[in-house]
Amino acid sequence: MKILALDTATEACSVALNLDGEIVEHFELLPRRHSRELLAMIENLLKQQNVTLGELDALAFGRGPGAFTGLRVATAMVQGLAFSVEKPVVEVSTLRALAQEGLRVHHSDAVLTAIDARMGEVYWGAFRAKDGLMYPVIDEVVIAPEKVIQPEGEGQWLGMGTGWQFRDQLSAEVINCFPEAYPRAADIAILAAADFKEGLAVPAERARPVYLRDKVALKKSER
């Protein structure tokens, strides 16, 4: 199975190929440069691995939550590429990708994910591992740090994501946290392969971002 994954939901920009379970990734921090750099990153990765778009089984992207502009960039890119070769698209939660990184890198089977959502809020999720993949145990929300929900149950939680820079405000207990962690295309590629096998891919025209929030910024009267 061959899957191309991409993510531009945060300051990070990454692309990855899942080639029958072997993951190859290009990851960079590129604030406000996603739209200029993403296509070149994709083309270079495909060329390096001697893979064409037509040889892919599917494409995948980080569907959010995350920055509005970044999510629109990723959605437009994955739709355009998928349309061009008539391939399906797998939508992967950026919070779930962060949780998968917590499992892959830190070997934690219980992860609380938080991405800085600005305006005094975080995008929040909780995930547990099953058969090497992370699955949500609560609904993803955008919420004030002091109001976050920590699921009940035994076990120790790991914190992943830029929202953990507000650890002192987050009403959740973790054994450790990594506020420098970003969603990565490598983990999207891993999750997308499993979702594709489960029949969860959609036609390119149905691929949609998930914002969780309707407003981009506070009005002057709300600041």
Q: 127: closest CA among 141, 114, 112, 142?
A: 112
Is 202 or 217 the better-scoring residue by pLDDT? 202
pLDDT tens sequence across 149-199? 899 877 799 999 999 999 999 999 999 999 999 999 999 999 999 999 999
Based on the fold, state whether residues 89 and 156 are members of the same structural domain: no
* Amino acid, single-letter form, for residue 132: G
CB 159 within 8 A of CB 172: yes
In the numeric block, which tokens belong to residue 196? 């594709």
In percent, how much of the chain has pLDDT > 70?
95
Look up the CATH number of the domain holding residue 158: 3.30.420.40
Residue 167 domain boundaries: 95-178
Based on the fold, state whether residues 46 and 87 are members of the same structural domain: yes
